[in-house]
Amino acid sequence: MKTSTLIRRINRIRTLRLCVRIAVIGTATVGPASASDAPLSAALLAAKCPAASIEEAYKSDAVSVFKVDCKGLRVRRVIATCTRTACSVSSEPGDDAEDRF
């Protein structure tokens, strides 16, 4: 009885360590632009693009445009347009669902 309790306790510790490692790796893979820019992060999350590589395509005083590669089962590219207060995400031309068939 005591050995099964010990084994369960060891398994819980291993599971907890694994969860911590996954959390650390997950936060380390967030790009620098999405980590510091809350409106961009929120817009990408709403577009179901939480893990992404972000490339700044255009920047002015009022508008920034980013090309974003969303990683998942398949890589898709979206365009994120940000003003000083908000961001919106649209699919890149040629990436629409009807264009794939």
Q: C-alpha angle with apex 36: 35 to 41, nearest 5 degrees? A: 55
The confidence score (pLDDT) of residue 81 equals 93
The confidence score (pLDDT) of residue 98 equals 43
50: amino acid identity, one letter: P
Q: 29 vs 15, which has greater pLDDT?
A: 15
Structural domain spans, the chain: 1-30, 32-100
Q: What is the mean pLDDT of the chain?
A: 77
Instruction: For residue 88, give the nearest of 64, 62, 54 by alpha carbon.
Output: 64
pLDDT tens-place string over residues 58-90: 999 889 999 999 887 888 899 999 998 889 999
CA atoms within 13 A of residue 8's CA, in its CB half-sphere: 5
Q: Quick one: tokens of 5?
A: 């309790």
Q: What is the pTM of this model?
A: 0.56
Look at the alpha carbons of 80, 82, 87, 90 in this order and tell me if their dihedral is positive or negative. Answer: negative
